A and B are shown apart, each in its own frame.
Chain A
Amino acid sequence: MAESPFKAEIERVQKEYSEKMTPGAIAVIPGSSVVNKTGSWRVFMPEFNRDKCVRCYLCYIYCPEPAIYLDEENYPVFDYDYCKGCGICANECPVDAITMVREVK
């Protein structure tokens, strides 16, 4: 996955404000959604069966986050840092290559 072009700046500002609340809880870090992991409230996670996958990319297209990207062989890869566990990918998959399983932390 491509890195955020702001990454260095994000990390610098994040370090500066990591222990400080800004007035009005202003987010002073541009593009911080790249480094702030938002997948923490997931209850179910998609489990992927590579053997069943026909590489139709429906999961990739329908992911609302988008937390699915494609590897070099064009198979979907799930980014669990951002996946909210909505299950749309599993629902759209025509060959049942994706199943939603309860995540145990």
Chain B
Amino acid sequence: MPIRKVMKANEAAAWAAKLAKPKVIAAFPITPSTLVPEKISEFVADGELDAEFIKVESEHSAISACVGASAAGVRTFTATASQGLALMHEILFIAAGMRLPIVIAVGNRALSAPINIWNDWQDTISERDTGWLQFYAENNQEALDLILIAFKVAEDERVLLPAMVGFDAFILTHTVEPVEIPDQELVDEFLGEYVPKHAYLDPSRPITQGTLAFPAHYMEARYTVWEANENAKKVIDEAFAEFEKRFGRKYQKIEEYRTDDAEIIFVTMGSLAGTVKEYVDMLREKGVKVGVAKLTVYRPFPTEEVRELAKKAKVLALLEKNVTFSVGGALFQDFSRALINEKEKPVIVDFILGLGGRDVTFKDLDEALGIAQKALAGEEFDEVNWIGLRKEIL
């Protein structure tokens, strides 16, 4: 029987790692994800998890150790956030290029300067072009489940790409919620043992990993990463379906909430989706036709699903906790790209809000709704809007 425990998302991530039985975990503590390696080191020390826990001197070393371990042929896990993920940056490309199915749990946190330990998505969004798969959790249960699913997808022969699972700093990492811990046997059946096909060490099979590629081969090697990302779309759907069958919890690349007959659809990710669902419930009672779409998967970008979603609404209001300078948010780019050649497309309005842990309140959402309604009515509106900005101190 699965047990229910009250825990933080950090603990849920550690539990997911324990259930996935990685052989090597290398991690460096960083707020707000410190508790993940702490908890895992406890599991290892108590003999509950048979794994090598490597203590390293930086995140750059943590991910490097993971690359080494994964290249040797074992399931590998680490956790980090913010500046730590940024420090891993160059190795993230190497992990994806070498097609190593490492999984990282990321406590989504703002980037310096100024120093800020609270939540936004700038850290993982900044790594969107590394080739890694990206999942975003709405609550602690999803943090646990998505890490298991991430392993499943990453290790699939058609994919073989590393994956990161983001959960919002403090809003999830340090907030307790009831989380169902699935049975070990069921997880074992779901994930299976990781049997590496390409990357493993065997003296009778001498190979070179992480080679130099001349111009004659580099482009093809990069294309295989592109291809693997494309393949991942189908594999993710399969993994979601199998997960639902075994554990009863349903996941979709884009989860829709009250979008039927909606005129304005708020699009968001992570824990903000919960807030917006609450807000939409309130508006629906007043008869306002609004809905929510939550991206559970951000890379590979669910282009087809976005196009389907776009058919349902007149206005897509993107709520983003990240900035792409002079453009707006990352989702704004991605949605614009996905819809640019569609014959009929909704108006897209971008909202940047909640950066660095700023609370997103109903008042903020009212402000966003007001602008979205202007767009709906065909009035003039700004494409990119900073919500809740304290203009008086500028």
Contact = CB atoms under 8 A, between A and B. Distances in A.
A27 interface: yes
A22 interface: yes
B125 interface: no
Contact of B209 (A21, A24, A30, A32): A24
Contacts of B224: 21, 23, 25
Contacts of B199: 23-24, 26
A25 B97 contact: yes
A28 interface: yes
Contacts of A24: 97-100, 160, 198-199, 209
Contacts of B207: 26-28, 30
A25 B100 CA distance: 11
A100 to B, nearest CB: 23
A40 B216 CA distance: 12
B206 A25 contact: no
A interface residue count range (under 10 / 10 to 19 / 20 to 34 / 35 or more): 10 to 19
A23 B198 contact: yes
A25 B211 contact: yes
A21 B198 contact: no
A30 B209 CA distance: 11
A21 B198 CA distance: 12
B286 interface: no
Nearest to A32: B208
Given A27-B207, A30-B206, A21 B100 contact: no
A20 B160 CA distance: 17
Contacts of A25: 97-98, 211, 213, 217, 221, 224
B220 interface: yes
Contacts of A28: 207
A28 B199 CA distance: 11
Given A21-B217, A21-B220, A21-B224, A27 B208 contact: yes
B221 A21 contact: yes
Nearest to A30: B206
Interface string B189-233: 000000001110000001111010110010011001000000000
- Scoring B211, B213, B217 by chain A CB atoms within 10 A of each residue's CB, the highest score goes to B211
A21 B97 CA distance: 12
Contacts of A26: 98, 198-199, 207-209, 211
Nearest to B224: A21
Interface in A1-52: 21-28, 30, 32, 40
Contacts of B198: 22-24, 26
A23 B198 CA distance: 7
A27 B199 CA distance: 11
Contacts of A27: 207-209, 211
Contacts of B221: 21, 25
Contacts of A40: 214
Contacts of A23: 99, 160, 197-199, 224
Interface in B83-104: 97-100
Contacts of B214: 40
Contacts of B209: 24, 26-27
Contacts of B220: 21
Nearest to A20: B220
Interface of B: 97-100, 160, 197-199, 206-209, 211, 213-214, 217, 220-221, 224
9 closest Cβ pairs, A-B complex: A24-B99, A27-B208, A30-B206, A25-B221, A24-B98, A23-B198, A27-B211, A23-B99, A21-B220
5 contacts: A23-B198, A25-B224, A26-B209, A27-B209, A40-B214
Given A24-B100, A26-B211, 19 more contacts: A21-B217, A21-B221, A22-B198, A23-B160, A23-B199, A23-B224, A24-B97, A24-B99, A24-B198, A24-B199, A25-B98, A25-B211, A25-B224, A26-B198, A26-B199, A26-B209, A27-B207, A27-B209, A28-B207
